Amino acid sequence: MGYRVVVAGATGNVGREMLNILAEREFPVDEIVALASRKSLGSECSFGDRTLKTKDLDTFDFTGWDIALFAVGSEATAIYAPRAAKAGCVVIDNSSLYRYDPDVPLVVPEVNPEAVLGYSKKNIIANPNCSTAQMVVALKPLHDRATIKRVVVSTYQSVSGAGKEGMDELWDQTKGMYVPGQERAPKKFTKQIAFNVIPHIDKFLDSGETKEEWKMVAETKKILDTRIKVTATCVRVPVFVGHSEAINIEFENFLDEDEARDILREAPGVMVIDKREDGGYVTPVECVGDYATFISRIRQDSTIDNGINLWCVSDNLRKGAALNAVQIAETLGNRVLKKG
């Protein structure tokens, strides 16, 4: 016996990956429905060998459905997630709307799986931001061993994090550099993204940091440990899929680089590729379609007493969004909503 599962936002980058991953991981589904906004109605989505025709999110009745994976953005989430939750369907939401709500757990199953038990206050579980998800997977096993005091992270985030429009802009702008008459001005991004990098993701806050940078701070504290200090610089780069992060970690206790590598090799969700030779590290193109958070370039930071540097790469549409949401559904199924 399986679950009755809803995927809302099924035609977007993340919604499509949610359907792919549910099928790939053989999530026990009795019935599945793909929902979309009215403008995408009738379009088709793949679910394993099957083709699903999308139904209207606006008129959908969530009564009798067990789990809804939402990838519709904060505005639509604000309307439809409470509707689903009230009908008794547990919402796993990829938007940022509920992430900082104390009555909504924010979960990365490799890090704080027990937090799913808090779902029942609102019948909603939040999925973290992509850049946080991969980072906390890497930090957790090191924190357990040597207690992290402070993290300094710089991100190199792919355009798929900004949705299909972001991917189209990189593609069109790149082509437009070579084809006269097809030049494309920035629209989705604030500056040219082709052959450029942009140190600006999400809106600016009064503090001078961006909301994306603030999210990495607030979410790491909520998921992993409120005592960890995080400072981030988030940068958009002309890569289609796969976010990369250069992470500097300061610990309370000494941690040798070889021990850090051994710990990470054993850690759930982590794949270490770390040879000190040409190509002995992972880049975003190699992580696409994979489940793992890849760690490379593990080395001592000799400028502080207890420091480690590392390079962390993951598929932002998978571990950073759809995979993590499906893993939350699996955790919920194993611990709470047992069937069969």
- 339 annotated as belonging to a binding site for a ligand: no
The sheet carrying 55-56 orders its strands as: 55-56, 29-36, 3-8, 67-70, 90-93, 124-126
Phi first, then psi, for residue 307 (nearest 5°) are: -125, 145
Number of residues lying near ligand 2RA (CB under 6 A): 8
- 11 annotated as belonging to a binding site for a ligand: yes
Residue of this chain nearest to ligand 2RA (CB atom): 161
Give the helix ranges, DSSP H, for 199-322. Answer: 211-223, 257-266, 284-287
Q: Which is nearer to ligand 2RA, 130 or 272 (CB)?
A: 130
- 316 annotated as belonging to a binding site for a ligand: yes
Candidates 13, 157, 220, 324; binder of ligand 2RA (CB under 6 A) is 157
Cα torsion through 144, 150, 117, 318, rounded to 10:
-100
- The piece of 123-131, 260-268, 277-285, 325-333 that touches ligand 2RA (CB under 6 A) is 123-131
Q: Which is nearer to ligand 2RA, 216 or 264 (CB)?
A: 216
Does residue 162 interact with ligand 2RA by CB under 6 A? yes
The alpha carbon of 37 is separated from its chain's Cα centroid by a whole number of angstroms, namely 22
Q: Which is nearer to ligand 2RA, 130 or 292 (CB)?
A: 130
Of residues 45, 130, 287, 312, which has the active-site annotation?
Answer: 130
- The piece of 36-44, 126-134, 186-194, 258-266 that touches ligand 2RA (CB under 6 A) is 126-134
Residue 243 is a catalytic residue: yes
Closest distance of CB 53 from ligand 2RA, Å? 27
x/- string (CB under 6 A) for ligand 2RA, residues 89-118? Answer: ------------------------------
- 3-8 and 29-36 as β-strands: parallel, antiparallel, unpaired? parallel
Q: What separation, in Å, do the N-terminal and C-terminal C-alpha atoms of the chain show?
A: 5
**Interatomic CA distance for residues 257 and 226, integer angstroms:** 25
Residue 130 is a catalytic residue: yes
Greatest alpha-carbon span in the chain: 62
- 48 annotated as belonging to a binding site for a ligand: no
DSSP per residue, 45-88: EEETTEEEE-EEGGG---TT--EEEE-S-HHHHHHHHHHHHHTT
Nearest by Cα to 269 from 243, 294, 297, 242: 294
Candidates 66, 169, 209, 212; binder of ligand 2RA (CB under 6 A) is 212
Candidates 123, 131, 134, 296; binder of ligand 2RA (CB under 6 A) is 131
Of residues 45, 243, 287, 312, which has the active-site annotation?
Answer: 243
Does residue 161 interact with ligand 2RA by CB under 6 A? yes
Q: Which is nearer to ligand 2RA, 201 or 312 (CB)?
A: 201
**Interatomic CA distance for residues 115 and 245, integer angstroms:** 26
Q: Which is nearer to ligand 2RA, 15 or 161 (CB)?
A: 161
Q: Which is nearer to ligand 2RA, 12 or 141 (CB)?
A: 12
**Interatomic CA distance for residues 65 and 126, integer angstroms:** 18
Q: Which helix (H) or strand (E) holds 154?
A: strand 148-157
Nearest by Cα to 135 from 265, 262, 244, 281: 244
**Interatomic CA distance for residues 116 and 94, integer angstroms:** 15
Q: Which residues sit in the known binding site for substrate?
A: 157, 236
Q: Which residues sit in the known binding site for NADP(+)?
A: 11-14, 39-40, 160-161, 316
Catalytic residues: 130, 243
Interaction site with ligand 2RA (CB under 6 A): 129-131, 157, 161-162, 201, 212
